[in-house]
Structure 1
């Protein structure tokens, strides 16, 4: 008989913590700064919101589906390794997409000069040339719009030639090129109209041809939308697949309760990634190489740390428990949340928190950049927020004695609203730091209260599924909807009014939330397994008596129900 392999729980926890640390570090090197890169390329706020909202919705749909398929075919380790490699490659593809020519003035670098080269291309002579000084950009409703079109490469104007323009002299000494009447675009459109019906339909569905007919900004938007969707499609299965495999491994060794200790390493890794990347990029020159801005370092750091994660993923302890049906467990978790009024209030709160969090994640760095912040200020401020959030477990015991979980949930949401209101009045590079300390409540305390709510409504074996319902509502559905709406709000009203509107909505909800919680009936479920394995030496005498009272009452209820059932069966006979 083969001897069973010894399970090393400490080694499994160490590998799981290292994996979470490196994955979070890789994401934080790039994702917080991704919207700045989109802004540098020339995307409008509305376009940026659509791209990021699509990214979150892809994760919401594909993460559980990919995890379920990887379990069904027993390909978890292959999916984890493939997600790391393919996501790093897809992220580097973003560096190949050219700019539209709409640039912004940052605190330390004028990005309109990043793509200039010693040799002038044809597009440089086709654009405006003037001896009079002009501003680099002007800001209108929170979106950066150039005062004049800067010199750009041929990729920005692929269809242009000198014969399509006529030079017109101006009194101030500048020369402006106006398009001539015989533009090369007009014959193309007339030829398309003369095509037969069948060929015209075939050309109509040719996506590449339609991209060529768009202006450069819409070309950039659709290219980024496709690449980001593919990137998220590659990276989305990583978290769920690794999380399920490690949890089932520890559960097989009866150590699943110790798996939660690895989550703090994810926050520490994120703090190291965002702070380290911000510090590194701020120390570099504006131009790394010819036509390569220093913002590309974020992508290289993401790919490099993802490569470092591969050896850890190869030794990550995974276990396949085919008895666990995740699809049914998720449906059951949704039913449990829907059946509890307090859980529904918590779900609505997490959804609103996700919408507000998208405004912070997507556009807070834009607001900081407009007030003179560099990557150093941004990275350190985000790292401070993550560290304060990771420190809340040290205060959880004292806070829980002062406030109930429902009130802590309200305080956490209200604190996030206060942070958003503060962000709308920034005045300098370091002005954001006081608000970041409050993430201990808006992040750590809020999710601690959500965890307590999960324990109140869940049944044995469904704790993680209920927790994923809440996290999916906030981190993916809420963030996705908030990105779509936030981009259009910034486009129409500007960055400060986005944060003020989000703060007002959260504050109004926090006014009505305690009233609704008081009216909602409290349904407390008895977790028999937790009561039976409770260690009497760690609990006080009063707590032990209370647990015995709960257990005795539950056993009496079970006896009465069984006697009632026996009487019913006897009468039916």
Structure 2
């Protein structure tokens, strides 16, 4: 009977099975996010929104996540509704995002010539008509208008675009007579706004709803899995699940890039949204089976305030937090407008998807060499300087792109920029953490970078691109990061390093030490003899 009970207990806590299921969950969810999130700003450009409007929309999304993500995670934990929150978030976000497909374009855009040529009913004879695009760059676009002639001969149909816009990004033509008729405008009854501002507010509302639905998912799932592993003393295997996130994002980037480019004439950009919805629905069965530790109701802990106090009380941690905010601002600006710049250079979705996937794979490949590189630099803080320098070089390179595949060399530096950044942040969190606060401190740095810094970065980048262009944005960010890297190196050298004693790490190190019994006896005898000498000396001095 005891043997049977032990077998049932071992089956109940199947750690390997739980980790596999969690890996599948994160892979599928990251695939869906990779299919859509990097391409959102391109779709907003297709809708006719300006760079400033897009920056405001993305900044609002990040600011909403700053408040709602931690709050929803605490509420789901307190009321034991984690699984319901995860499944509800997957389903609702998958449906809400499709609302964006209902909005028609308000911009002046041109159909791609090779799509026209592939249509059997299209007239193969065309003339070029000059059209001015009302954008921040005042770009001139040559579009194709079809005309009918008495004798038709097959000719090659092409579209000529200036260096500031690409033909793939311009996909519908708005006729002048439509602008004169107020009833033909989108939401024409709202005469106090033009069509572009109507679109801006509608997209802003939908993105806010979408973020409310999607934000609670990741933290809630991570907390449930971590506490499950903590309950069975297997938290050391928690980090092994994280590798599936960049792998899933890389697969989603590459897959949607190939599919959208291949099926563009049939589906346009809608395939990115439907791919996201499909992956979110496929993730629901794994979410329903995801291992989650259920606990009784309890008061919310003040772990966030404790983490703030620990960071505030350490000079190196404050320096790290400042760097994290700056890196988050630059990374967000790159994420929002790099694909714009690639599109201007003639890149299609397949170029974008492969380049984004390569960056994720380089981040994953940095992990095996991170520990060796940290030992070589003798202090993980220098990895932070390396991350800033690498991102500065990336931004400088982005400003001089000349073709669709020219971005590839810069993407190879993603391992040293993003990978080194988070390795250094993790090590910094371990240095200042007290028992039980390591994960909370790491979460604090994530919020500072991925949400707060990203919000400021998106907002500022939108105004800079609107006023000066994408190239000036990347060059300005490169100069800023270069100056900060020099300042950071000097401050790292001047500020003394404060480090708390992590007793769990000391115990783990003690268990890994292999000493012979004779060595242990010698150490014990030497210690006892030193104590005896010290006591005798103290007695003589007192006498």
Deviation sequence 1:535-559 (CA, Å, 0-9, x none): 5446799xx99xx99xx9xxx9xxx
User: Within 5 A, what are the aligned runs for 1:26-65?
Assistant: 26-65=32-71
Are 1:330 and 2:304 an aligned pair?
Answer: yes
Q: Deviations over 1:2-40 (max 9, x none)?
A: 986721111111111111111111101000011110001
Query: 1:219 matched to which residue of 2?
Result: 198
2:415 to 436, 440, 448: 440
Change (3 A) 1:229 1:518: same
Q: In the alignment, what sits opposite 1:508?
A: 483
Secondary structure of the 1:135 match is strand
Give yes or no for the alignment of 1:229 onto 2:204.
no
CA distance in 2, matches of 1:222, 1:35: 15
Post-superposition offset of 1:377? 0.4
Please tell me whether the aligned partners of residues 385 and 440 of structure 1 are also in contact (alpha carbons under 8 angstroms). Answer: yes
- Cα separation, partners in 2 of 1:327 and 1:61, compared to 1, 3 Å: farther
1:135 counterpart residue number: 130
Aligned to 1:564: none
**Corresponding position: 1:384 with 2:358:** yes
Following superposition of structure 1 onto structure 2, how do residues 155-554 of structure 1 map, counting pairs within 5 Å? Answer: 159-160=182-183, 211-288=190-267, 294-322=268-296, 327-403=301-377, 404-534=379-509, 536-537=511-512
TM-score (norm 2): 0.82
Does the CA contact (< 8 Å) of 2:50 and 2:135 recur in 1?
Answer: no
Deviation string 1:50-87 (CA, Å, 9 cap, x unpaired) is 11111111111100011111112211111100000100
Q: Secondary structure at the match of 1:426?
A: coil
Structure-2 residue corresponding to 1:181: none
Following superposition, the deviation at residue 211 of structure 1 comes to 4.3
Structure 2 match to 1:99: 105
Does residue 1:13 correspond to 2:36, yes or no? no
Provide the C-alpha distance between the structure 2 equivalents of 1:342 and 1:234, rounded to a whole number of angstroms: 36
Map of 1:203 onto structure 2:
none
Q: Which runs of 5+ in 2 are unaligned?
A: 144-171, 532-543
The CA distance in 1 between the partners of 2:376 and 2:445, in whole Å, is: 25
> Structure 1 residue 514: deviation in Å?
1.4
CA contact (8 A) 1:101 1:156 kept: no
Return the alpha-carbon distance in structure 1 between the equivalents of residues 301 and 327 of structure 2.
Answer: 26
Report the TM-score, using the length of structure 1 for normalisation.
Answer: 0.78
RMSD: 3.2
Q: How many pairs are equivalent?
A: 481
User: 2: distance between equivalents of 1:354 and 1:83?
Assistant: 25
Q: What per-residue deviation string (whole Å, max 9, x for no partner) do you get for residues 411-456 of structure 1? A: 1111001101100000001000000000110011111011110111
2:48, 2:196 within 8 Å by CA — same for their partners in 1? yes
